[in-house]
Structure 1
């Protein structure tokens, strides 16, 4: 399917990073780690991309998962079912708990002088029970540049949710990845077929 070109020069984009925290990306403390080499690549790609966006005046919002306790996680039937199994999300009931170093953003991707942080995400969809939509509306943003992890869960769910809220959605290909590598490309294909655009960092920057 040929997708029409998205002209970003006439839109108001904002970068929305998803769970670029130590709980996924720092192998020394991560409770749900990406492979170390993948994590390193994702952090490096995001750091370079976000720095370029800031220079161009594009706002950056980081959305970070955090919980009050494991009981708040366990109310999700699927997560309860896969906890302590051989699933990639086996550590779900110990993920992003209070006091965890995993709650911290990777320092390479965060600029406290300019970036906003939404730290109340509790489910895959970054809009669910957070103030992300309010932050985006205050910025008058109409286009989401999605980066982060995991492509087949949080990135996909947020792309769907952004689409139904009438944002133009862009998944930034080289700035997303997954704990489920076999589903990474499938998730990008789903986004590109039904919910938005899948573009590389170079393609995004060339269109700004």
Structure 2
């Protein structure tokens, strides 16, 4: 017997809609460089895709953000976490990285400059056990551009939490990377259908170098936590 139509069921929006509706603006966006530590990047072969592309595209976006006066934020795990600090992460990933700089270092081409905040990362989402939301409020930012690794884990969870906080997330399609192309595609498909725009690096760079304009309708209320 065919299932009866649910009276409140809605047809999902076209996945392209958020890419059309939302555009990162220099006076609204913050950039998050997510977990770009050598421990996590060590999964990828050096000098080839996806690592080469990830570093190059992230560097382009970081440069454009700095030129536009867009706040650049970072996340990084502390290393040498205790079993209690790891919590359930230990059950899936084991003890994680050590405190050795060979694990914790962020490559120089995308590394933070003096004065750029590095949030200590404890769980998948950059919002978990950090003051990221409060920072965005203080900065008057209601958009979050996300680059880094891994696309279907921390990057996606951060995008979902940004959406939950009424902060427009932009998961940059070619400035995130993952263990496999399938995981990368999974992250982008879920994000663009449920919580985030998924622009390419060139789109983000162009937008940040363009005079700001309304990204979610005229008269949009700005400020993290207010939404559009």
Give the TM-score taking structure 2 as reference length. 0.76
Mark the CA change 1:74 to 1:121 in structure 2 (over 3 Å): closer, same or farther.
Answer: closer
Q: What is the aligned counterpart of 1:46 among 39, 51, 58? A: 58
* Local SS of the residue matching 2:113: coil
Aligned to 1:34: 44
* Local SS of the residue matching 2:125: coil
**Alignment partner of 1:135 is 2:135:** yes
**Higher deviation after alignment, 42-51 or 152-161:** 42-51
Following superposition, the deviation at residue 11 of structure 1 comes to 5.3
Larger Rg: 2
| More strand, by proportion | 1
Following superposition, the deviation at residue 178 of structure 1 comes to 0.5
**Alignment partner of 1:200 is 2:210:** no
Aligned to 2:21: 5
Following superposition, the deviation at residue 10 of structure 1 comes to 8.1
Aligned to 2:70: 58
Aligned to 1:101: 102
Mark the CA change 1:11 to 1:112 in structure 2 (over 3 Å): closer, same or farther.
Answer: closer
Aligned to 1:145: 145
Q: Deviations over 1:42-100 (max 9, x none)?
A: 11211122112111111100111224434136520x642x4xxxxxxxxx334223335
* Contact 1:12-1:142 at 8 Å conserved across structures: yes
Q: Which runs of 5+ in 2 are unaligned?
A: 1-13, 209-228
Aligned to 2:81: 69
* Local SS of the residue matching 2:40: helix
**Higher deviation after alignment, 4-13 or 61-70:** 4-13
**Higher deviation after alignment, 96-105 or 148-157:** 96-105
**Alignment partner of 1:124 is 2:140:** no
Following superposition, the deviation at residue 158 of structure 1 comes to 0.4
| More helix, by proportion | 1
* Local SS of the residue matching 1:105: coil
Mark the CA change 1:41 to 1:72 in structure 2 (over 3 Å): closer, same or farther.
Answer: farther
